[in-house]
């Protein structure tokens, strides 16, 4: 697809070009549209959205989809297939947030589907699955994130390696291709632990049978006795068999952090260059102490004191990300991705040691002036921060 043809697929692009040409002919100081740019930006990229739960769909024993609509009944801001919103919640007095990818199609503007899988010990996922009801109001950020399909640069041959709830952004990308009859081909390699926990199972299988440009390959790592499908852990031989010849495919990976890391390693072994691999960040690392640079003699269970300058102090475990500890003790820091990418949660480190894992994409200016990303920062001793 040429760049011009791709641009013409963008809603409003042709109209905008026509309006620009008309203005070039007539001339204008743009007084008549003063203020409209700011208003349009707010509509497309709102800081907060007021949402309401319109429906709760039970997908599997561990997964539900919350169908969210705007409280005012209007269309929701557009998003790119694969993006997320940050959902803000108050759980028994603790104000926190978690990012969830939309699993619905971007062509559907009257609702967002958020597919939530229960995480072991998950604070927010348990709340959303067990306590949220139809009619409840929730607050979120606007759509955001860089993990999305870009038809201009990602080509027409797409492969999505999804683990568990990583199927949510994969479904959004798939539905976007099918709804808009785009030319892209999508091969989804979908891995789950158990046969009864495959999200969107019937829908995905039906779509694969109906559309020649969608291929579904399912893998169950813990199959029951007598299971006849593909099973076991994803390895190089299995991936090579599923993918065939490696060419110019664009690879998307979304799942638990160990799954993501393993998929990147396997694709690298198969000769896929890193620029053809896109990975969705998935929270703070569960084992930061296993990364290079972790200070010797420090345990995840050690306790440290965290002081917020001029506002108080509290105790926290080394293994708890700083942002989580702040929220648990009543301190709010703006946040979105909670994975070390967006930088919204950054706080200034005034004193003390903090471990910044490989997930912390700190900019040079952050390092130079003592800023840390609290969502993935682990205090390894007593610290003082400025919010």
Q: Dihedral, CA atoms, 290, 254, 200, 182, nearest 10 degrees?
A: 180
Phi, psi of 157 (to 5 degrees): -115, 105
The residues, ordered by sequence, that sit 6+ positions from 112 with a Cβ below 8 Å of its Cβ are 51, 67, 68, 76, 79, 85, 102, 104
Cite the beta strand spans of the chain per DSSP E: 49-60, 63-70, 84-91, 94-101, 112-117, 137-140, 157-163, 185-192, 214-220, 250-254, 277-279, 303-308, 312-317, 346-351, 354-355, 371-373, 378-379, 383-386
For 144-165, how does the pLDDT look when each residue is reduced to its tens digit (9 = 90+)? 999 998 888 898 999 999 999 9
Name the pTM for this structure: 0.82
For 231-240, how does the pLDDT look when each residue is reduced to its tens digit (9 = 90+)? 999 999 999 9
Confidence class of residue 3 from pLDDT cuts 50, 70 and 90?
Answer: low
Residue 251 has pLDDT above 60, yes or no: yes
Phi, psi of 134 (to 5 degrees): -60, 135
Residue 20 has pLDDT above 90, yes or no: no
Query: Which of 22-36, 238-252, 282-296, 363-377 has the lowest average pLDDT?
Result: 22-36
Query: Which of 8-17, 199-208, 251-260, 367-376 has the lowest average pLDDT?
Result: 8-17
Q: Single out the residue of 98, 113, 109 nearest to residue 54, CA to CA.
A: 113
């Amino acid at each position: 697809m040429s760049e011009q043809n791709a641009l013409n697929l963008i809603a409003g692009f042709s109209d905008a070009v026509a309006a620009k040409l008309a203005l070039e002919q007539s001339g204008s100081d743009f007084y008549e549209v003063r203020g409209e740019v700011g208003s349009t930006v707010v509509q497309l990229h709102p800081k907060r959205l007021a949402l309401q739960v319109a429906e709760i769909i039970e997908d599997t024993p561990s997964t539900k989809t919350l169908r969210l609509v705007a409280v005012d009944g209007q269309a929701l801001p557009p998003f790119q297939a694969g993006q997320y919103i940050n959902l803000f919640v108050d759980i028994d007095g603790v104000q926190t947030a978690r990012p969830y990818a939309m699993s619905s199609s971007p062509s559907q503007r009257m609702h967002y589907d958020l597919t939530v899988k229960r995480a072991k010990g998950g604070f927010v996922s348990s709340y959303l699955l067990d306590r949220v009801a139809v009619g409840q109001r929730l607050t979120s950020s606007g759509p955001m994130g860089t993990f999305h399909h870009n038809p201009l640069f990602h080509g027409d041959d797409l492969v999505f390696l999804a683990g568990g709830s990583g199927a949510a952004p994969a479904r959004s990308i798939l539905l976007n291709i099918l709804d808009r009859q785009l030319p892209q081909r999508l091969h989804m390699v979908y891995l789950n632990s158990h046969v009864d926990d495959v999200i969107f199972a019937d829908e995905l299988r039906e779509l694969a049978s109906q559309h020649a440009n969608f291929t579904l390959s399912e893998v169950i790592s813990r199959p029951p006795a007598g299971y006849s499908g593909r099973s076991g852990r994803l390895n190089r031989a299995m991936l090579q068999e599923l993918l065939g010849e490696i060419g110019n495919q664009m690879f998307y990976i979304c799942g638990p952090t160990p799954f993501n890391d393993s998929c990147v390693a396997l694709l690298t072994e198969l000769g896929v260059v890193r620029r053809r691999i896109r990975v969705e960040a998935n929270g703070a690392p569960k084992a930061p102490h296993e990364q290079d640079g972790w200070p010797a003699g420090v345990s995840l269970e050690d306790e440290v004191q965290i002081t917020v300058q001029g506002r108080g102090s509290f105790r926290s475990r080394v293994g708890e990300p700083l942002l989580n500890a702040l929220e648990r003790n009543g301190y709010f820091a703006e946040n979105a991705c909670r994975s070390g990418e967006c930088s919204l949660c950054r706080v200034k480190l005034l004193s003390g040691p903090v471990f910044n894992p490989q997930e912390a994409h700190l900019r040079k200016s952050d390092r130079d002036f003592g800023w840390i990303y609290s969502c993935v920062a682990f205090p390894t001793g007593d610290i003082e921060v400025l919010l």
